[in-house]
Amino acid sequence: MRKLIVLWFKMNLKNRIYPGITCTSAIRKKDHWRAQLKEVNKLGIKEVALFPTTLGIKQRKELYQELEKSCIKKIKLVHMRGEDFTEEEMEYFYKRWKTRLFNCHEKYFDQLYKKFPKFRKNIVLELNYDNKIENKLLPKKMGGFCIDLSHIKCAKELHKLEWDYMMNHLKDTKFMANHLNGYSKNKKRDLHFVNNVKEFDYLKELPKKIFSKVIALELENTIKEQLKFKDYIVRLMK
């Protein structure tokens, strides 16, 4: 079984990594999504992941208007904003963009179970590395895990609860999605802007089982850079 998992992993990795349109502001301003979206259109990219995590409702509506003008056909993963995401938005992505995976942070996992009963199988849990498990509801009660690969690397190196929590659920929970970004070995922290491809080398040290069918690049870097990183990661993992 293990050999089959490794073979499947190597053969399919390239088709499972998607560029991300992001709104974090570690290095760039959070409206850098506009430039990323222009690149997506210029390059003719049809499938992406979307991270409107830091945008309020009004700003998200502006983003959605721009999506309608794009060449995108499918949004594979949406990072929900747990505090104010609406059922209307869930329906919009599910029907318009064929989105089947929505990830949220631990803090909101339990309340979203009650808020969106129709979408329970589509909502997946992202773990942080702050040594707290804020959800009481098991991830298998909804869609499963969305493991942020740099978060879980940090949790392992810093001996945080999240690593043990994930490992304890390796056998009973589906790993449906991933966030993929950089990792600082010196600072033991995740990186949303990558300057050196070596900041992806930590991926080799993680269990293959936690790599899912939808791996979303959560990076502020340009789409062109993200595609170069993708090629490096595929070579690295082979």
Q: Express each pLDDT in 62-72 by its tens digit.
A: 999 999 999 99
SS (H, E, C) 100-161: CCEEEEHHHHHHHHHHCHHHHHHEEEECCCCCCCCCCCCHHHCCEEEEEHHHHHHHHHCCCH
- Distance between CA 126 and CA 72 in Å, rounded? 25
Residue 11 has pLDDT above 60, yes or no: no
Residues of 13-42 as b/e, b for ≥16 C-beta within 10 angstroms?
beebbbbbbbbbeeebebebbeebbebbee
pLDDT (0 to 100) of residue 27: 77
36-73: per-residue pLDDT in tens? Answer: 999 999 999 999 999 999 999 999 999 999 999 999 99
Which residue is listed with tokens 């949406």? 78
pLDDT (0 to 100) of residue 26: 75
As beta bridge partners, residue 184 has: 189
Average pLDDT on 115-129 reads 98
Mean residue pLDDT across the chain: 95
Average pLDDT on 208-224 reads 97
Domain tally for the chain?
1
143-177: per-residue pLDDT in tens? Answer: 999 999 999 999 999 999 999 999 999 999 999 99
- Cβ atoms within 10 A of the Cβ of 84, count? 11
pLDDT (0 to 100) of residue 24: 85
Average pLDDT on 109-121 reads 97
Range of the domain at 6: 2-237
pLDDT (0 to 100) of residue 10: 59
CATH of the domain at 113: 3.20.20
Residue 6 has pLDDT above 70, yes or no: no
Residue 8 has pLDDT above 60, yes or no: no
Average pLDDT on 1-12 reads 61
